Amino acid sequence: MRMQEIADAIELFIDYGCTDVKSYTLVNNYGYTFKYDGVDYDARFWANCYGVAVNEWEIHSSQVNAKEIPAMIELEKALNEKCR
C-alpha cells in the first residue's frame, strides 16, 4: 500500500465519521478495523485470494449486515474508487 492510499483511506474514514480506526496487514491483503455508530467493522483490501488477484475493498461486520447500512455501502464504493 502506498502512502497516498493510506492518507486517502484515513481521510475517507474521517469523512464518514468512523472512530477507532486501526490498520492491519495480512500476507496478501490489508485493511482497517473501525467503529461506526457504535458497531465494529472491518474494511479489507483483497489484493489476492488463493493466488487470484481480486483488488477490491470489502466492508464486513459480525454485528450487522454492512451491505444494508447506506454509509457503509457508500464508504466501500469510495474506497474502491480512491484507494486502489
Q: Give the percent of the chain with pLDDT over 90.
A: 73
What's the CA gap between 12 and 78, in Å, rounded? 8
Amino acid at the residue 16? Y
Over the stretch 14-50, which tens digit does the pLDDT of each residue have? 999 999 999 999 887 899 999 999 999 999 999 887 8
The span from the first CA to the last CA of the chain, in angstroms, equals 8
pTM of the model: 0.90
Q: How confident is the model at residue 11 (pLDDT cuts 50, 70, 90)?
A: very high
What's the CA gap between 6 and 51, in Å, rounded? 24
Average pLDDT along the chain: 92
- pLDDT for residue 1 is more than 70: no
